[in-house]
């Protein structure tokens, strides 16, 4: 059985995951209308992944005797100055999510809920990979700068960039 404090914290994380899905979806739409199909495909895929994270948390809360609550979401940005600025914002968002997960794990220890602590370990590892991926993409964009040809190649190549390849490039595996 989940404590009330932990149930509230998990519900907060459910909202954050839903908002993360919306952030990626909004970025996918912006990239698509700017003509970068690879970036759009990458963002659509990550939007789906964030939604799956949310659903995994929802199921866990409900299975542990809590009540997962679906709340209103903060509207994501829909316009960006550049692809580099968009990915910088994404990287900052992933750092925010990591901090939130760390707080959640801390609460599991305070509440001595080792089952939830154990459940969240997949999430901690996943989030390390998400941060590594965002940092890798940002590093690649910084190398490209304003080169249109480089952006074209980046758009083509980002479709092959996955969480696993980013983790191996940064030594996180």
Specify the pLDDT at position 171. Answer: 47
Sequence-separated (6 or more) residues with CB below 8 Å from residue 52: none
Over residues 60-68, mean pLDDT: 98
The response to whether 50 counts as a known ligand-binding position is: yes
The response to whether 127 counts as a known ligand-binding position is: yes
Residue range(s) defining the domain that contains residue 38: 4-169
CATH code of the domain covering residue 44: 1.20.1260.10
The response to whether 17 counts as a known ligand-binding position is: yes
How many domains are contained in the chain? 1
- pLDDT band at residue 162 using 50, 70 and 90 as cut-offs: low
pTM: 0.89
pLDDT digits (tens, 9 = 90+) for 81-132: 998 999 999 999 999 999 999 999 999 999 999 999 999 999 999 999 999 9
């Amino acid at each position: 059985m989940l404590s009330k404090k932990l149930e509230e914290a998990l519900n907060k994380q459910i909202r954050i995951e839903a908002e993360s899905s919306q952030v990626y979806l909004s970025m996918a739409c912006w990239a698509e209308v700017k003509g970068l199909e690879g970036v759009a495909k990458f963002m659509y895929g990550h939007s789906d992944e964030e939604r799956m994270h949310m659903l995994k948390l929802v199921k866990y809360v409900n299975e542990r005797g809590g009540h997962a609550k679906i709340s209103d979401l903060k509207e994501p940005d829909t316009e960006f100055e550049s692809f580099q600025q968009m990915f910088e914002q994404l990287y900052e968002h992933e750092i925010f999510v990591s901090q939130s997960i760390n707080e959640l794990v801390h609460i599991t220890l305070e509440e001595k809920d080792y089952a939830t602590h154990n459940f969240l370990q997949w999430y901690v590892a996943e989030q390390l990979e998400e941060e590594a991926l965002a940092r890798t993409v940002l590093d690649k964009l910084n190398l490209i700068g304003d080169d249109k040809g480089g952006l074209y190649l980046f758009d083509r190549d980002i479709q092959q960039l996955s969480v696993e390849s980013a983790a191996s490039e940064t030594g996180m595996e």
